[in-house]
Amino acid sequence: MSTPAGVPVRPGKIVAVHVAYESRSAQRGKRPSQPSYFLKATSSLAASGDTIERPAGTSLLAFEGEIAVVIGTTARSVSPAEAWAFVEGVTASNDFGLYDIKTADKGSNLRSKSRDGYTPLGPSIIPASEADPQSLRIRTWVNGEVKQDDGTSAAQLIFPLTQIVADLSQHMTLEPGDVILTGTPAGSTVVAPGDMVEVEVTATSASTGSELSSGRLVTNVVEGPGDFDPNLGSMPAVDEALQVDAWGSREAAGLAPEETLTGVLSQELRAKLAEAPTAGLSAQLRARGLNNVVIEGVCALVPGTKIVGTAKTLRFVPNREDLFKSHGGGYNAQKRAFDSLQSGEVVVIEARGESGSGTLGDVLALRAKAQGATGVITDGGVRDSAEVAGILPVFSTSKNPAVLGRKHVPWESDVAVACGNATVLPGDVIVGDDDGVIVIPRDLVEEVVDAALAKEIEDGWVAEQVAAGNPIESLFPPKGEWKDKFDAWKASR
């Protein structure tokens, strides 16, 4: 169904493109080779002049000014050359997203972008017959200041609008009134209650040469209720990566540049560590004379878990009733440690290998996740293990329903600890997978992970040769003729 101006008010479907603009790709440091998509609920549609709610307790509501393509004729398996003939027209749209609740849905963006009012559309449609799909312009203003200004030429779009329509049509039937949100250019950032966001799409008329406009799509941001129920689903949680994505840059988010941070892993280094197996990292540490870097006896609550981060240490001492009375209650060292967590940290708990009680439960796990922690390592037990396993990565020695005070007194944090017979210093790099958990000194991590990844490539090549029936003599590791073959193969990649 459409308004008289042709702008859909309840289309059959809304399909959105993740990244389509060169400027957005450059801003995020990743350029997709093919378009990818997600769906937005039709109930998220709003009109020009409507308000959008940012729930109380959240902070990362971001706008994304976009060109909306409205389908006019049923399209199935059409070519790019004919795709525009199936389009009724284009209009302005705003693909709002609440980054505070984005993590749980990853690329689907279901909850973060399908909230009521999160897809304003309109106010008027520019007929496709009058609009060259490579000559459109989109602009976005926040409180009267231009934040986005881009176009749809071949130099500006990674994927032409006609390619997007044709690609979608080979996977699903596009029906009259369906809306395609074609991605946002650079400049998307966070807005707050009291802000006004405007988006306009313009084109030059093919018949008259005059400027055609969708009109300005106006959205006013207000504060709404923040009554999320933790018993129903994931809660809002913000980490540094989400802040950067929502604001558009570390500077805009008010974060220190990565190179000035101590103990914080860059996104590139974190990605390398996530790729490298602990077995390979351990071997590289051993080659450098470090043999006592394995946190022994711990395993993931959920098999297949990978954990990467810098150590936030916490130490428990054996329970003594008078000490638990003075140090166990109130705002104790354990609670203070979890409240002071920084994004990207891993809580490393010294529990002396004592598995006779829990060292954390679901409430502390929720707090750690909300603070942006990447997980917890404890050589003690975990309470509420099923719930904790669904909140964030945890490696422990056991599951135990008993409370902390049965065996432990929370004593201090941010000190050297002995966890699983390994010494861990605050800021050490922690990596865990199905083989176990290792500790890497911060000053060695770059060379260790690069060497481990290089060795993984070599081992993969060796495995292929062994699988082909070759004996392992002089092959594992490659020597002589095999070393020459490996070097030649590597040079050819």
Residue 238 lies in a domain: yes
Residue 301, amino acid: L
Is residue 313 packed enough to be buried (19+ CB in 10 Å), middle (13-18) or exposed (0-12)? Answer: buried
Of 363, 347, 407, which is closest to residue 381 (Cα–Cα)?
407
d(CA 280, CA 278): 5
Same domain, 434 and 486: no
Contact 340, 334 (CB under 8 A): no
Domain ranges, residue 79:
14-247
d(CA 443, CA 194): 46
Name the binding residues: 361-364, 383-384
Residue 233, amino acid: G
d(CA 312, CA 293): 16
Position 256 scores a pLDDT of: 65
Same domain, 329 and 412: yes
d(CA 319, CA 357): 11
d(CA 320, CA 380): 17
Q: What is the CATH number of the domain that holds 27?
A: 3.90.850.10
Position 258 scores a pLDDT of: 57
Q: Which of helix, strand or coil describes residue 329?
A: coil
Same domain, 339 and 475: no
Contact 141, 197 (CB under 8 A): yes
Position 375 scores a pLDDT of: 95
Same domain, 420 and 311: yes
Residue 283 lies in a domain: no
Residue 213 lies in a domain: yes
Other residues' Cβ atoms within 10 Å of the Cβ of residue 320: 11
Give every residue of the chain whose pLDDT is below 70, as ranges: 1-5, 256-263
Same domain, 23 and 141: yes
Residue 4 lies in a domain: no
Residue 264 lies in a domain: no
d(CA 156, CA 165): 17
Residues in the chain, total: 493
Global pTM reads 0.56
Same domain, 384 and 486: no
Question: What is the number of domains present in the chain?
Answer: 3
Same domain, 381 and 339: yes
Same domain, 170 and 86: yes
Domain boundary among 180, 215, 247: 247
Contact 131, 103 (CB under 8 A): no
Position 262 scores a pLDDT of: 45
Residue 267 lies in a domain: no
Position 1 scores a pLDDT of: 31
Position 263 scores a pLDDT of: 52
Position 350 scores a pLDDT of: 97
Same domain, 347 and 237: no
Position 121 scores a pLDDT of: 97
Domain boundary among 213, 247, 281: 247
Position 249 scores a pLDDT of: 87
Same domain, 308 and 180: no
Same domain, 465 and 425: no
Name the binding residues for substrate: 361-364, 383
Got the DSSP string for 170-228? TTS-B-TT-EEE----TT--EE-TT-EEEEEEEEE-TTT--EEE---EEEEEEEE----
Same domain, 417 and 297: yes
- Going by their DSSP bridges, the two strands 45-46 and 51-55 should be labelled as unpaired
Going from the C-alpha of 365 to that of each of 184, 270, 358, the distances in angstroms are 35, 22, 12
Residue 136 lies in a domain: yes
Residue 274 lies in a domain: no
Q: What is the CATH number of the domain that holds 321?
A: 3.50.30.40
Got the DSSP string for 162-174? HHHHHHHHTTS-B
Using the 8-state DSSP alphabet, how is residue 236 labeled?
Answer: P
Name the binding residues for Mg(2+): 384
